Structure 1
Amino acid sequence: MTLAREATTGAPDIVRINPTDGTTVLGSLQEAGVTGVDRAVTAAAAAQAGWASTPVADRALLLALAADAAEAQADQLANTLANELGKPINDSRAEVRVALALIRQMAEEGPAHLSSTEEDDARGRLRVLRQPYGVVAAIVPWNAPLVLAATKVGPAVLAGNAIVVKPSPVAAAAVTALLEALGSELPTGLVGVVQGDRTTGAALVAHPGIRRIAFTGGEAAGAAVMVAAAPRAVPVSLELGGNDAAIVLPDAPFSPELFKRAVLASFRTSGQVCMAAKRWYVHRSVLDTFVDGFIEAARTHLVVGDPLLEETTMGPVATSSQRDFVRDLIDDAAARGATVVELGTVPDPAVVDGPGTFLRPTLLIGVDDDWPVARLEQFGPVAPVLVFDDVDDAVRRANASDLGLGSSVWTADEDQAFSLAGRLEAGYTFVNTHNLDGVALRAPFGGVKGSGFGREFGPETVLEYTATHTVHMPAHAREAQS
């Protein structure tokens, strides 16, 4: 695996080790730094000047062709992602499909949202234009890197911007390959990529040629991006972490299919999903039913092992530091008195118990709200179960988090679910599902409170990458010249 290198800074290589076996070197990259960032932003600005004047219909056509070019490499992209991230191969293939679907959806539906509006009546003449910002900086995390790159590249490029992406070093190869494939059908420099860690990220958001920033990642890094953007008043969108609460009401329609959705809600991508169900609030009257059904579904649907095997549904945690963080949360909960249940099926214990970064999926029963495993975003394969007796109390406890990305309500009463959802402090509420299984690509996604602001998916996503430009001739000004 070869990663693109924009510049060398003299810093040591960032080496990526295969998380499955803990020993195989997948590749290395070096910080692009200030020099590499400047080169990429300069090239992007040169390409954007002509791109902005290209008719939207032509931009859409080229974006669709770019998706076709990337689809020709779909198998290679999926294998690269599975190797470097430990994401099961079937999930990796699905991520490639969703990323390309987002690009194509933007090419098909986005132009309608970029049209200018005009009024000419007795009040005067008024036109509102949607215009690109210029060069966009995008910082993409490692957990769903292809989808999260596509949600930025597609709308930014369609809107007439250029974009420079900095992927996480944990999943740099797959993102770089995707961007290179997309860029092969677009003007040179329009889609750029810079490699590195914090040094390169800081240089990118601080570059004077950047006119807009799109960031997905942790709260601390998001705050640093805002601070860097503030002196030049560069607009920022932030999709940060989540500590999603799932509320299971007494009339939840328990079935094998519901429990499958519940298990995947917490354990898809080894729990490393910002919108995973991370706190299960279960009514006391159905606690045993929920726990028994969850354990049984996990035995069937969680197969832990080598991510390149077709039967695997859960691979390793992406990094050793994340594994250790989650393991400490589990150990702390156990010490406080939680019941610990290891879940799933492990066909080859030698792989899972080897030097890789695996964690057995774990259910924690009897957790309190103030324990670290419930208070913090775990971002790993652990599902805490908390008990409630009163719905109002469950809502209060769910809303007590500083974060507000997603939430879910599990009940047979659809009207009750939608009513209760309106009381939850979240940007997205699922009903009888949670996580990727419930996302509607036609609707906006994003958070409230400490989970950030700005929206991806739906019509809002392309509007995020445009500024309105109003042109107005009021009636009295028109009359004065006649």
Structure 2
Amino acid sequence: MTDLIERENPARFAEIVGAVAVTSPAEVDAIVRRADAEQRRWAATPLPDRLAALTGAATALENAVEELATLLARESGKVLADCRGELGFAVRFLRWVVSRAISAYADSTVDDDLGRLVLLRKPYGVIAAITPWNAPVILAMLKIAPALAAGNAVVLKPSPLAPLTISRVAALFEAPLTVVHGDGATGAALVGHDLIRKVAFTGGATGGRAVAALAGDRLTPSVLELGGNDPAVFLADASFTDAAMDRLVMATFATSGQVCMAAKRLYVPESRLDDFVAAYRAAADRVLVTSDPLAPGATMGPVISADAQRSAAAFRDDGALVDLGRFDADPATGYFVRPGLVVAPDPDSRLVRTEQFAPVVPVLGYRDEESVLAAANAGDLGLGASVWSADEERAFAFARRFEAGFAFVNTHNRTGMSLRAPFGGVKRSGWGREYAEEGLLEYVQTCVIHAPAAFRPGAEIPAAGPSAYPAG
């Protein structure tokens, strides 16, 4: 009898949205071996033909956005508008990869008095993609699209908490893309397979360590995108306008705060803390409605699971709590948590030090810019940050000193984020550079063909000796 992963609706946990079959380690072996054979044929397919297949998948996905958005809302708890946005962005990203792939993967040649040098962009082979539940479609697409365009095969293992929509999306590709389902055992069988040539992982630090250890044991290259405990720093001249506060509230509580690049620590001058709390609370009253993800007007849904609900409830006890927005939900029948602002908690509390991944956010006062910069840069996670100021030059100067892979100025919101902007991190937040040209190059190897001028036909051949060869 086949084991199943049943996915419940986080907004109504008595409702089962769907189920997928668990992929056993033995099945993983067969799937990877089949993907390896398919990859060789796919890599031999001319690049324009590969890109035509990806364009077809983009069109099919675009035509299915409304249907899939409802499914994604039901399995993940994300509000319907956000699900439409995620799927729409996946379509745009896929088309963007198609538009950039020919130039990104083209050979380059240098032919001068030193000789002839050709740089080739070659696929790795079979890519293992491990993705989380909070943005299951776009976080998979960031790996699928460039990997397939480059000529790789992909075996994708999504989170058991969001397996349904991405499986439907993957079925739209006429390309060597296979989905496997399961827990850590399935993931270990995939990452540890001898025919896996690269691993692309997005998720938490615990999973990242396990993936890195398995891949490292086999010297398999890895792309790791981990979490972030992103600070938002308001400088002394920042304005608490309605528009700014509305952006900040939604940047904090989108997907119930379960976003790697959400604003997770708010820092405000001590003398302005009360004014900030009042402005933030007013903004939440305007824009934050916690309800069923399919309900009209909902801007925040439930958290993903019972464990997440318990964890969020514990964070609410970490200091003076201000409840936020309109709460039209029942925590007894769905995994709902009233969003909250914790004012002036202990800086060493778990709420401040860890990536809470919950609809609870701390706001802390500071006395001077050096102290707040030190606080903002504290910790192991350096994914993103934001700085708010009436003086853009001052903000950019401050942002240069963040220990973060990217920084926003006067916003902390993905809206308007350009695909020319790399997405990565410092410290332990990951080494990949997704969302931009760097992300395309993660899925190709640079190989070199070199004819030194001294050894080209007709050249005078130098005498052999130590000086004729580089060291190393």
Normalising TM by the smaller chain, what interval? over 0.9
- Structure 2 counterpart of 1:119, one-letter code: V
Q: Is the 8 A contact 2:291 2:301 kept in 1?
A: yes
* Residue 298 in structure 1 maps to residue 289 in structure 2: no
Partner residue in 2 for 1:111: 102
CA offsets 1:155-205 (integer angstroms, 9 cap, x no match): 101111110100101110011011111x2xx24xx0110011111111110
CA offsets 1:304-336 (integer angstroms, 9 cap, x no match): 1010113100000011101111211222x1xxx
Please give the secondary structure, in 1, of the residue aligned with 2:44.
coil
Partner residue in 2 for 1:217: 203
- Structure 2 counterpart of 1:112, one-letter code: S
Query: C-alpha separation between the residues in 2 aligned to 1:386 and 1:361?
Result: 17
Query: C-alpha separation between the residues in 2 aligned to 1:13 and 1:49?
Result: 32
Q: Is the 8 A contact 2:19 2:164 kept in 1?
A: no
Please give the secondary structure, in 2, of the residue aligned with 1:129.
strand
Partner residue in 1 for 2:221: 235
Offset, 1:353: 3.4
* Residue 28 in structure 1 maps to residue 14 in structure 2: no
Partner residue in 2 for 1:271: 257
Offset, 1:50: 1.6
CA offsets 1:45-102 (integer angstroms, 9 cap, x no match): 1221121122222222221111111222111210110000110001111111001111
Partner residue in 1 for 2:447: 469
Query: C-alpha separation between the residues in 2 aligned to 1:363 and 1:198?
Result: 34
Partner residue in 1 for 2:324: 343
Partner residue in 2 for 1:408: 386
Q: Is the 8 A contact 1:444 1:457 kept in 2?
A: yes
- Structure 2 counterpart of 1:345, one-letter code: R
Please give the secondary structure, in 1, of the residue aligned with 2:198.
strand
* Residue 387 in structure 1 maps to residue 378 in structure 2: no
Offset, 1:28: 2.8
Q: Is the 8 A contact 1:407 1:428 kept in 2?
A: yes
Please give the secondary structure, in 1, of the residue aligned with 2:290.
coil
Please give the secondary structure, in 1, of the residue aligned with 2:415.
helix
Query: C-alpha separation between the residues in 2 aligned to 1:247 and 1:374?
Result: 14
2:270 aligns with one of 256, 281, 284: 284
Partner residue in 2 for 1:443: 421
Offset, 1:31: 2.4
CA offsets 1:123-145 (integer angstroms, 9 cap, x no match): 01111111100010000100011
Partner residue in 2 for 1:202: 188
* Residue 75 in structure 1 maps to residue 70 in structure 2: no
CA offsets 1:243-263 (integer angstroms, 9 cap, x no match): 001101121132111011110
Q: Which runs of 5+ in 2 are unaligned?
A: 463-472
1:272–1:315 CA distance, 2 compared to 1 (3 A): same
- Structure 1 counterpart of 2:225, one-letter code: E
2:34 aligns with one of 43, 48, 71: 43
Query: C-alpha separation between the residues in 2 aligned to 1:289 and 1:58?
Result: 58
Tell me how large the CA RMSD over aligned residues is: 1.4
Partner residue in 1 for 2:125: 134
CA offsets 1:190-245 (integer angstroms, 9 cap, x no match): 01100111111111101111100000001011011111011221100101011001
Please give the secondary structure, in 2, of the residue aligned with 1:246.
strand
Query: C-alpha separation between the residues in 2 aligned to 1:480 and 1:233?
Result: 41
Partner residue in 1 for 2:140: 149
* Residue 366 in structure 1 maps to residue 366 in structure 2: no
Q: Is the 8 A contact 2:11 2:292 kept in 1?
A: yes
Aligned residues: 460
Query: C-alpha separation between the residues in 2 aligned to 1:480 and 1:272?
Result: 66
Task: Give the structure with the higher percent helix.
Answer: 1
Offset, 1:29: 3.1
Q: Is the 8 A contact 2:248 2:413 kept in 1?
A: no
CA offsets 1:97-135 (integer angstroms, 9 cap, x no match): 001111011001222111111011110111111110001
Please give the residue correspondences for 1:321-360 in structure 2 after superposition, counting only pairs within 5 Å. Answer: 321-331=307-317, 333=318, 338-346=319-327, 348=328, 351-360=329-338
CA offsets 1:271-317 (integer angstroms, 9 cap, x no match): 00001010001111221221111101101101110101131000000
Q: Is the 8 A contact 2:79 2:301 kept in 1?
A: yes
Please give the secondary structure, in 2, of the residue aligned with 1:109.
helix
Query: C-alpha separation between the residues in 2 aligned to 1:439 and 1:274?
Result: 15
1:417 aligns with one of 395, 405, 428: 395
Offset, 1:39: 2.6
Partner residue in 2 for 1:62: 53
1:318 aligns with one of 298, 301, 304: 304
Identity of matched residues, %:
46
Partner residue in 2 for 1:159: 150
Partner residue in 2 for 1:93: 84
List, as ranges, runs of 4+ consecutive aligned residues in structure 1 with deviation greater than 6 Å. Answer: none
Query: C-alpha separation between the residues in 1 aligned to 2:443 and 2:370?
Result: 39
**What TM-score do the two structures reach when normalised by structure 1?**
0.93
- Structure 2 counterpart of 1:21, one-letter code: R
Query: C-alpha separation between the residues in 1 aligned to 2:20 and 2:46?
Result: 37
**What TM-score do the two structures reach when normalised by structure 2?**
0.95
Query: C-alpha separation between the residues in 2 aligned to 1:353 and 1:464?
Result: 42
Q: Is the 8 A contact 1:19 1:85 kept in 2?
A: yes
